[in-house]
């Protein structure tokens, strides 16, 4: 499997090691996106305001201006960050699809694994008018049982997705989605492929 198909192709299977390797790639991509976003802004006024409060026990953030835009530089940086994010989302769907194939299931399971938690979490955030990371606490505070249930169901689905795709072994042997990625790529005597392993006699 080529690197391009590994990151962006939807057919075939990958094992647990490959999805953990993808997590490393995703972290690197996130760091690159943050650096690009920071370089696209003017931080001089922000840094100057922080230096002016050096030595104070508590920083008065109301006196610290936000980073300013730098015109075309900021626009180019935001476009680059947007492209990185689109590539990340596409790659996530592709890698998760191949991992589902390794588990013997269709990529349509992504609707349950990624789509449903997104809808439930969005509902909880909308009802509680709180940031999504705080929706569960906000639901408990306001006594909103439906939003609390939606929040925790999405959390439980996310936990199962982690166990299923990142921890559990794929089906043994070939399945309808392809060969077992843990088995050698045996050569077909009639159509030998590049990089295949000759079968022992």
Helix (H, G, I), strand (E, B) or coil at 186: strand
Supply the DSSP symbol for 175. Answer: B
The pLDDT, as a whole number, for residue 131 is 55
The pLDDT, as a whole number, for residue 98 is 94
For the chain, list residues with pLDDT below 50. Answer: none
Distance CA 30, CA 22 (A): 12
Burial of 167 (0-12, 13-18, 19+ CB in 10 A): exposed
129: left (phi over 0), alpha (psi -120 to 50) or beta: left
Return the exposure string of 109-122: e unless at least 16 CB atoms fall within 10 Å of the residue's CB, then b: bbeebbeebeebbe
The pLDDT, as a whole number, for residue 123 is 72
Of 200, 181, 185, 178, nearest to 12 by C-alpha is 178
Of 183, 155, 186, nearest to 170 by C-alpha is 183
The pLDDT, as a whole number, for residue 25 is 93
21-76: per-residue pLDDT in tens? 999 999 999 999 999 988 888 888 888 888 887 777 777 777 778 888 888 888 89
């Amino acid at each position: 499997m080529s690197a391009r198909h590994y990151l962006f192709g939807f057919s075939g299977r990958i094992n647990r090691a490959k999805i953990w390797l993808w997590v490393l790639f995703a972290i690197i991509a996130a760091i690159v996106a943050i650096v690009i976003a920071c370089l696209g802004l003017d931080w001089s006024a922000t840094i100057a305001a922080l230096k002016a409060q050096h030595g104070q026990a508590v920083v008065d953030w109301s006196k610290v201006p936000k980073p300013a835009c730098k015109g075309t530089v900021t626009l180019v940086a935001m476009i680059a960050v947007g492209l990185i994010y689109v590539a990340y989302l596409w790659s996530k769907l592709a890698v998760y699809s191949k991992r589902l194939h390794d588990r013997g299931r269709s990529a349509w399971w992504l609707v349950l694994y990624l789509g449903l938690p997104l809808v439930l979490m969005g509902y909880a955030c909308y009802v509680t008018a709180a940031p999504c990371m705080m929706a569960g606490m906000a639901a408990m505070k306001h006594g909103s049982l439906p939003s609390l249930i939606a929040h925790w169901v999405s959390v439980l689905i996310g936990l199962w997705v982690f166990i299923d795709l990142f921890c559990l072994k794929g089906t043994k042997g070939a399945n309808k989605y392809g060969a077992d990625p843990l088995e050698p790529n045996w050569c077909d005597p009639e159509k030998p492929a590049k990089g295949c392993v000759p079968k022992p006699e």
